[in-house]
Each structure stands twice: as C-alpha cells, then as structure tokens.
Homo-oligomer: A and B are copies of this chain.
Amino acid sequence: MTVTDVRPSAEPRSSEAPALDAGRPLKVALLGCGTVGSEVARLIVEQADDLRARVGRPLELVGIAVRRANRERPGLDPALFTTDAHALVSRPDVDLVIEVIGGIEPARALILEALANGASVVTANKALLAEDGATLYAAAERHRVDLYFEAAVAGAIPIIRPLRESLVGDEITAVTGIVNGTTNFILDKMDTDGAGFAETLAEAQELGYAEADPTADVEGFDAAAKAAILASLAFHTRVTAADVYREGITDVSSSDIASAREIGCVVKLVALCQLSDEAADGSGRSVSVRVHPAMIPRTHPLAAVGGAYNAVFVESRSAGRLMFYGPGAGGSPTASAVLGDLVTVARNRVRGALGPGESSYAARRVSPIGEVTTRYHLSLEVADVAGVLASVAQVFAEHDVSIQTVRQNGRGADAQLVVVTHRARDSALSATVEALRDLPSVRDVTSVMRVEGEA
C-alpha cells in the first residue's frame, strides 16, 4: 500500500454534502417557551441554513409546548404551539426533544416519555438532574438515545463536555465554581459599594439580576444543584442535591466583606467539589460537595470573576489548574448551550452514534460536612480584660484547631478579635465556636467564614 491510497476521496462528507441535505429533516419538539425557550426557537428558525450544514440534515421545529397557547409570541408560527406537552413528546415522528420548563414535574415525566418514545433529549434542568439524574440516565441508556445538558450548569460556559470528555483521561481532584450569577452580582456590588446584603439584593431585583423570590439563588439551592452535577461528572460517582452541604449569602454582612479585604480576600459564594486522599481505613477516596460563602484570595483566578459572570476552576492531576469563564445565565447564552447540544445529538442521530452516558463506576462516599477540613476566619466581640486572648487561644487549642493569625481591633467595650485558623476539621471548628460562646470574656461570635483557595 502506498500513502497516496489514502488521499481524500470524492466521497461527500456530512458537513459539505448536499446529498445528505436532501435527507428527511430531524423533527424537534420544544417544551417551554420562556426566556430561554423563545430564544432557542428563534435561533432554530433563523439559523436553519447553518444548522442544516452542521448537522447534515435540516432541523424542523414541529411543536412548542406552553402553558398558555394564546399568548403573543412574535416571529413564531402560532400553529406550533400546544398546551398538550404529553401529546407532543409522544408523537412518533419526533427525533429530538428540548426541555426548558425547569422544575421536577412535569419535566421529569415528559423527559421520560420522550426517551421512551425514542427521542434524544436536551435539557437545561439542573434541579431535576441533581435530584434524579440517575433515573434519566438509565432511561436514556435503556432506550439507546442521548441525554445532553450543557446548559444546566454555568449557562453558555462549556463545562459539561470538558468534564465528561476532554478530562476523562485525567484524575480531577477539585472543582470550584462561581455558578450563580445573582449571588455573585450581589457580593461583587457589596464589595464595591460597601453596602449591606438587604439593600444590595433590592438593587439587584430592580436591575433584573435577582428574582422577586430570590430564595433559590441567595440560599444557595441553585448552586447546590449545579455542584451535585459537577461533582458527579468530575468524580465518576453519584451526588444528588440532598448530598450537598449548603449555606446561602443572606448572613453575609458588609463587615464580613471588610474583614475579607483586610486579609487580601474577596467573599464569593462558591460551589466546592473535592476528592479526598485514600482513607487510612482502606475505605477508598470520598468526595465532599458544599456550597457556602467563602473568603478567596484576591490573587486567585476566581476572585476576578465579577458581576453576574460565572467561572469554574478545575484542578486535576495531569492537566493542572484550568479555568472556564463566561456568562452564567440569560436567554441567549443558555440558548447557545442548548443549540450546541441540539446539533451534537442531531449529528449523533444522523450517524447512528451515541454520546457518553452516565459514568458512576467509582461509587464514592460523600463526606458529611463535619469531616471536611478547611481554614476559617472568625470575628469575636470580647471584653477587653486581661487574659482574654489567652482564654480564647486555650479554647482553640483544646479543640485541636491551630491559629494562624490573631488580631485585636479596638479596646474597651468595642474590642474585637479576628482569628484566622490553619486547616481544621469542620466539626472541630463548630465545637470551638460553641465553646467560645460559653466563655465569659467573649460577648459574641459575630462571624465565622471559611477561607478557600490557594493564591
């Protein structure tokens, strides 16, 4: 055989093959037509030529399931709309289903119906994936179809494919994300303006960065769902939202932010997914997954992520430190992620291929928060009496929590002690705080915050 045998043939390729363009269109059903759904529908129609060239066949939007069919939706054919989502996903001719309704039900039932009907599914539904991803994966597997969900975490930022595919030959040891734009906007604004949480939240709501009911964002539920998904993919295991330790940002005060500044840090709501070392008792490596406000060194790449932007910082054995940065929410960015998945699953269907399924072979234990070790920043209001530092230090020592720095601010009635610890177990730190509250010389423990991220 000579090398010239394998030079390009005259055979058409899918991306350039007019012959394939003549193939049957792939039929797409869209569930939900809110901010993301309407943008997805618009792009499928407007970019039809490019999408056809990239898939190798036309994509035809055949139906859009909505709650109220009679609402005005400019630019979209009114005949596409239906309120009967179950009938839409059960149509025998539907190849691809996009779910952007959100929430657990009816989204789960509809996705399962679509998969059972042989359609590949693209979803942005982080809550459902974090609560019951295993059921969805298993159904996709059983029916030999794809389940893609790039839009579920960090909007347009490609992070699912990098974890499922690009880094699949590496050992990921930690994923640290700023994955909620609303809370990042609020904390960034508090840092810039020196304002408190409540007034900044009100401002964020006025500007459209926070919802009227901000609970899912400010209490960390949204970030916790994303953390569960990231940890599952990174560590080849199953982590659900219920496994994620969660604290929101409602208790973050302007004095916490000022304290962070004093030690060269910013306060961020972080989603932390970490793989432990091998356990001494031979039980293998566990994972910890948690969402809470933390002080991050200003020199850390995540510290510079401002406004409503998102970023995911990945540490792995061979690749080292990687960061993925971009807009974490919004109709257009989320629609970009959905369309990327749509083209991928459509290409797979044209080629009779399947993307990666669930990889949970490692079946790792999720550590309770008490076992986690990290550093802590504490602020104590103390009576400025002789020996107060000694008695406080004694409490830390008794609980095996080593102090890195301690600083006394003010004197007399306003005296404050600021303590930064070395790495300690969360349970030991909690016990320390309890004991500190019982000390006669400590009037109050006004703030306890974790310090994360090496510079």
Pairwise interchain contact B109-A143, C-beta atoms closer than 8 A: no
Binding-face segment, A2-10, A184-192, A382-390:
A2-10
Within the complex, what minimum Cβ distance (angstroms) separates A286 from chain B? 16
Q: Given contacts A43-B318, A320-B332, A354-B353, is CB(A165)–CB(B340) below 8 Å? A: yes
**Complex-state Cα separation, A332 to B320, whole angstroms:** 8
Q: How far is B144's CA from A342's CA once the two chains are assembled, in angstroms?
A: 23
- Bound form: Cα–Cα A323–B327 in Å: 10
Choose one: B109, B170, B330, B360; the contact of A3 (CB below 8 Å). Answer: B109
Residue pair B335, A1 in contact (C-beta under 8 Å):
no
Establish whether residues A161 and B156, one from each chain, have CB atoms under 8 Å apart when the complex forms.
no
Within A141-159, the residues touching B (CB, 8 Å) are: 141-145, 150, 155-158
Interface mask (A191-216 → B, CB under 8 Å = 1, otherwise 0): 00000000000000000000000000
Of the candidates B156, B170, B316, B347, the one whose C-beta lies within 8 Å of that of A318 is B156
Interface pair A169/B53, CB less than 8 Å apart: no
Binary CB contact string for chain A from 311 to 341 against chain B (1 if under 8 A, 0 otherwise)? 0000011111111111100101101111111
Q: Report whether B166 and A7 are in contact in the complex, using a CB–CB cutoff of 8 Å.
A: no
Pick the residue among B43, B115, B118, B354 that contacts A4 (CB under 8 A).
B118
Q: Is the CB of B118 within 8 A of A342?
A: no
Pick from B158, B169, B323: contact of A162, CB below 8 A: B158
The reply to whether A337 and B166 contact each other, CB–CB distance below 8 Å, is: yes
Q: Does A282 contact B (CB under 8 A)?
A: no
In angstroms, Cα B134 to Cα A11, docked, is 13
Could you write out 15 A-B pairs with CB less than 8 Å apart?
A3-B113, A6-B142, A8-B145, A15-B236, A16-B141, A39-B318, A43-B169, A53-B359, A54-B168, A158-B166, A158-B322, A162-B162, A165-B343, A320-B327, A353-B354
Q: A50-B171, A325-B323 are in contact. Are A9 and B150 (CB under 8 A)?
A: no
Q: Does A408 contact B (CB under 8 A)?
A: no
Across the interface, name the chain B residue whose C-beta is closest to A24.
Answer: B1
Name, among A316, A336, A342, the residue most crowded by chain B CB atoms within 10 Å (CB to CB).
A336
Contact of A359 among B6, B15, B342, B344 (CB under 8 A): B15
Instruction: Report if A103 contacts B (CB, 8 A).
Output: no
Q: What residue in chain B is nearest A342 (Cβ atoms)?
A: B169
Nearest to A359 among chain B residues (CB) is B15
The answer for the CA separation of A298 and B362 in the assembled complex, in Å, is: 43
Residue of B nearest to A155 (CB): B319
- Number of A residues near B (Cβ < 8 Å) is 99
The docked-state distance in angstroms from the alpha carbon of A353 to that of B320 is 30
Query: How far does the Cβ of A352 sit from chain B's closest Cβ, in whole Å?
Result: 5
Known: A113-B1, A166-B340. A358 touches B318 (CB 8 A): no
Nearest Cβ in chain B — how far from A38, in angstroms?
A: 13
- Given the complex, which residues of B lie within 8 Å of A54, measured CB to CB? 168-169, 236, 359, 361
Within the complex, the shortest CB–CB distance from A336 to chain B, in Å, comes to 4
Q: Is the CB of A156 within 8 A of B322?
A: yes
> Is there contact, CB below 8 Å, between A8 and B161?
no
Given contacts A169-B336, A344-B168, contact A93 B322 (CB under 8 A): no
Taking the complex as formed, is A112 at the interface, i.e. its CB lies under 8 A from any CB of chain B?
A: yes
Within 8 A of B (CB), among A32-58: 39, 43, 47, 50-51, 53-54
- CB of B350 within 8 A of CB of A353, answer no
Q: Given A158-B322, A166-B337, 5 other A-B contacts at CB below 8 A?
A: A15-B361, A53-B361, A168-B343, A304-B304, A320-B330
A139 contacts partner chain B, Cβ-Cβ < 8 Å: yes
Given contacts A6-B143, A161-B158, A301-B325, contact A358 B319 (CB under 8 A): no
The reply on A391 being an interface residue by CB < 8 A is no
Q: Quick check: is A95 within 8 A (CB to CB) of the other chain? A: yes
Give chain A interface residues in 250-308, CB to chain B under 8 Å. Answer: 301, 304
Q: What is the distance, in angstroms, from A308's C-beta to the closest C-beta of chain B?
A: 11
Q: How far is the CA of A354 from the CA of B325 in the complex (A)?
A: 29
Of all chain B residues, which has the CB nearest A332? B318
Residues of B contacting A16 in the complex (Cβ-Cβ under 8 angstroms): 141, 357-358, 360-361
Nearest CB on B from A416, distance (A): 34
Q: Please, which residues of chain B bring their CB within 8 A of the CB of A349?
A: 6-8
